[in-house]
A and B are shown apart, each in its own frame.
Chain A
Amino acid sequence: MRRWIAWAARCYPADWRRRYADEFEALIEQVDPSWTTPATYLKLGAATAILGALAGGAVSFTMPQRYVSTAVMRIAPRTVAGEPGWQSEAEAAHRVQEMQTVILSRASLSEIIQRPSIDLYRRERARYPMEDLIQDMRSQDLHIEPVPALAEGKGHTSPAFRVSFEYPDRVKAQAVVRNLTTRFSELTTRTAGAVLIEVLTPASLPEKPIQPNRVAIMGIGLGVGLGLGILFAFLRRRPLKWTLRMAGCTVAGCALAAAVCYLMPDTFPDDRKSYQFAALGAFTGLALGAFLLRDRATGGNHYARLIAFSAACGAIAGGLVSFALPERYVSTAVLRIFRFPGGGAVAAQLEVEPAERVRQLTEDILSRGSLSALIQRPSLDLYRKERQRYPLEDIIDDMRRRDIRIAPAPLAGLTGLGPVTSFQISFEYADRYKAQAVVRELVAKFVEGNVTAERKLHRDKMPGSLAFEVAEPAALPTSPVSPSRSAAAAIGVLAGMLLGSLLALRRGLAARRQAAALEPRPPYGRYALTAAALGAIVAGLGSLVIPSRYASTAVLRLVRPKGQAAENAQAAGQRLREMFQQVLSRDTLAEIIVRPELQLYARAREHLSIEEVIEQMRESDLRVEPLPGSPLGGHTTAFRISFEYPEREKAQACVQALVSKFVESGVDAHRQRDAAHLFDNQLAEGALPLTQDAVPAPPAGPILPEQPTTNHFATTPAVGSGETQGQPARAYHPQRDAAHLFDNNLVESALELPQNTAPVPPVGPILPEQPTTNQLATNFAVGSDDTQGQPDSEYLEVLDAASVPEAPVGPNRVTISAAGCLAGLLLGIAIARARRQAPHPAPA
């Protein structure tokens, strides 16, 4: 404004300028500019906004106009008597897609582009290769897309599609569309009447351009002008030196961040992340400059400044945290399911619907064995860090629930015509190349699985058989889906504003108290913070004294063969119950504890009895718990055995021993059952005399644990032990057997049949209900010798062998330190309060 007034003064008469110009300029320099008021901000902002809108309008007139010509075509499938309607429709859709492939081929589009009467992209052809122009034409300017089916009466509909082309010359746009529709018609004649394509709406001659959108461009200019005007008004209030310093701080922050990106290429592998970090650096430099150059002497609301400063710090902290978090990428592929066309009336019978086929394949592909092999494949090596800390079962569960997505997806273009089902497969992972590789693998499994299923039905590539086609291959994700830096910054701003408000409130209260304070009083904050810091340090040091504990885990599953009846499942549950009783009995655990190679709880056994040691083992160290049920509604019969111990090798060895005991007990139980069956048969056939002495002892007596257990699992009344086989069962002891040994849920889950009949959409992770072929798992048949390895009876499958724990599960030193910090905080407040209430000595 000063410059404008000075410029205006130059228009005054020369005599006046000779007399007053010098002192007039001195006055202007001294005058406090009137544009420091908010009204002037608005005035300047409005002026620049109008200028921006005008500039935007002017720019929009320099942009080339673009027109869109459109034609609509209808597909009329050939109807043959005795042929299913879907077959004609699929045949027609298939033919139209073939036509589209021909029309959009390089040769076809190249001919259209270079045809003298059309002569498209003349300038671009002089600068870019034809291949690029054709690719741009396909992806940007030319659109062939289905439109809602047209009603034909009598409830019939016929599919239709739209052909549109966008170009700066409206006549050429119409010519291209007309040419394309003509080509569709020409190709139709070659199908020998298999499909008829009718032009419903011929190529239109557009009258109004669709681009440029002048209103939108002027709106953008308006906003930009307003922002620049307000910034200009703000900067004009400030001395030039201040502006230059602020700019210097911003540039320095940006340069420092860019240097960090340059020196850490592994952390900032792509330009996008580097630019974002540089922007964060620039903002940090700007905020730091504002803090360093703040004018304490000026008035204003100090509290508002504090809140703004806290918000800026929060935004910077949020941005930094978002860079510290691992990025996750999502790769997606789209699969198309269609029925194989052709064949007329000899089409295959549709025994399987596409959705059902997808569900079946999803179950198989997302089964534990399949995902386990995928995770541990050396070329992928997924979840390496997680596998060092958690059992594979949990990782597979997380992968199904969180990372893999299988969902219906519409197909773009003519690919979506006809009776087509499509779905997309996506996988989220921290490594974008691995995400793409996993999706590729899943796609291959779907396609191969479908081929295998069709071959089993002896109708591979028969008309009407289901075929999978990759509509969109697995994409290499370029930008991560998380973390969202803008969301992190917004959260940081909100948190900063909240913290700043609290600090401002605290300052205000402190100022009031300071004014009213008559005598020094012990401050709460200092006492609390000091005591909290001391508490955290003491607790952290104390946690170092506690020995680390390692947990080894194994996962077993009782596998039932296909088609087993419900009563057999109940019998399997009973046997599982017996196995639990036997393995977790006092004698079995005692035998494991005192094994020479293990020697568990050696110190404890010096002053405790073996019963007390077993009690401690069951209560705190040994866990046997069922795994979560299937999302399909079925029930799992898998259970996890975990054991915590200060020595990782012994923890693993103990779990291995328990797994062996489970397997052995299962084999014993089955043998006893077979023997009992043999005994019953012999008795029925009269092969054995029914004299008292000659009757052999019943071989399959239930098992009674000898000691009560306080394990958190529910217990059924125990009636025998492994060592009492062939002997009369012990009497039921209420006190001894009051504590339940088994989890009712676990036992009940073993009795449940999987809900195979539940309708399942092809969405989300699916837990397989059938036994899986895990390459790493070892199957131990519970049946008799002649049935071992045969899936005609229940058997125990070791899903996860006993793991070697690499990281300790306890003590959690962070939690202990936090608890110490909290305790210290409370203690500090209590001390400060006590000292405040204590009587002060009277001044001398």
Chain B
Amino acid sequence: MSDPTLLVLASLADGEKHGYAMMEDIHRFAGIRLGPGTLYGAITRLEQRGWIRPVESSDRRQPYRITAAGRTYLEEQLATLDQVLKTATRRLKPA
């Protein structure tokens, strides 16, 4: 699970965050440190698809929030991943 878009959505699932907070959060829960270019590439794609949207802010740092569509997409992806996880776990168990 190294898709940056999925990681960004997972990070925004518990509330709005700006870019640096997302990087630190992703590093904390996934152990992956996204570079600035990679992060903003994902943010650009997610915003174009309407899965996240910017929040009003007076700071230069722009916070983002996950949208309902984004949350739905994240849930679908997690269900798929959960299915994959359970299958793989079951198959890895000794007969």
Query: Which A residues form the contact surface with B (CB < 8 A)?
Result: 5, 8-9, 16, 20, 22-28, 30-31, 34
Question: How does the 8 Å CB contact mask read for B57-77 relative to A, with 1 for contact and 0 for none?
Answer: 001111000000000000000
The smallest C-beta distance from A10 to any residue of chain B, in angstroms, reads 12
User: With A8-B37, A31-B23 in contact, do A22 and B60 touch (Cβ < 8 Å)?
Assistant: yes
Is the C-beta of B83 less than 8 angstroms from some C-beta in chain A? no
Query: Which B residues form the contact surface with A (CB < 8 A)?
Result: 18-20, 23, 33, 35-37, 39-40, 43-44, 59-62
Contacts of B43 in A (CB 8 A): 20
The smallest C-beta distance from B24 to any residue of chain A, in angstroms, reads 9
Is the CB–CB distance between A27 and B61 below 8 Å?
yes
Is the CB–CB distance between A24 and B36 below 8 Å?
yes
Is the CB–CB distance between A30 and B33 below 8 Å?
no
Number of A-B contacts (CB under 8 A): 42
Q: What are 15 residue pairs bridging A and B, where the CB atoms are less than 8 Å apart in the complex?
A: A5-B37, A16-B44, A20-B40, A20-B43, A23-B60, A23-B61, A24-B36, A24-B40, A25-B60, A26-B19, A26-B60, A27-B19, A27-B39, A27-B61, A30-B19
Distance in angstroms between the alpha carbons of A26 and B36 in the assembled complex? 10
Is the CB–CB distance between A26 and B61 below 8 Å?
yes
Is the CB–CB distance between B36 and A31 below 8 Å?
yes
Contacts of A34 in B (CB 8 A): 33, 35
The smallest C-beta distance from B32 to any residue of chain A, in angstroms, reads 13
Contacts of A23 in B (CB 8 A): 18-19, 60-62
Is the CB–CB distance between A31 and B37 below 8 Å?
no
Closest partner residue, chain B, to A8 (CB atom): B37
Distance in angstroms between the alpha carbons of A24 and B20 in the assembled complex? 10
Closest partner residue, chain B, to A26 (CB atom): B60
Contacts of B19 in A (CB 8 A): 23-24, 26-27, 30
| Extra contacts besides A24-B36, A24-B40 (20): CB < 8 Å | A5-B35, A5-B36, A9-B37, A16-B44, A20-B44, A23-B18, A23-B62, A25-B60, A26-B59, A26-B61, A26-B62, A27-B18, A27-B19, A27-B20, A27-B39, A27-B40, A28-B36, A30-B61, A31-B20, A34-B33
Closest partner residue, chain A, to B43 (CB atom): A20
Closest partner residue, chain B, to A22 (CB atom): B60
Distance in angstroms between the alpha carbons of A27 and B39 in the assembled complex? 10
Contacts of B59 in A (CB 8 A): 26
Distance in angstroms between the alpha carbons of A26 and B23 in the assembled complex? 13
The smallest C-beta distance from B60 to any residue of chain A, in angstroms, reads 4
The smallest C-beta distance from B42 to any residue of chain A, in angstroms, reads 12
Contacts of A30 in B (CB 8 A): 19-20, 61
Closest 6 CB pairs of A and B: A26-B60, A23-B62, A27-B19, A30-B20, A26-B61, A27-B36
Distance in angstroms between the alpha carbons of A9 and B18 in the assembled complex? 18
Closest partner residue, chain B, to A28 (CB atom): B36
Contacts of A31 in B (CB 8 A): 20, 23, 36
Contacts of B36 in A (CB 8 A): 5, 24, 27-28, 31
Distance in angstroms between the alpha carbons of A26 and B61 in the assembled complex? 6
Contacts of A25 in B (CB 8 A): 60
Closest partner residue, chain A, to B60 (CB atom): A26
Closest partner residue, chain A, to B47 (CB atom): A19
The smallest C-beta distance from B43 to any residue of chain A, in angstroms, reads 7
The smallest C-beta distance from A428 to any residue of chain B, in angstroms, reads 64
Distance in angstroms between the alpha carbons of A24 and B62 in the assembled complex? 9
The smallest C-beta distance from A305 to any residue of chain B, in angstroms, reads 28
The smallest C-beta distance from B18 to any residue of chain A, in angstroms, reads 8
Contacts of B62 in A (CB 8 A): 22-23, 26
The CB with the most chain B CB atoms within 10 A, among A22, A27, A28, A34, is that of A27
Distance in angstroms between the alpha carbons of A16 and B23 in the assembled complex? 20
Distance in angstroms between the alpha carbons of A26 and B57 in the assembled complex? 13
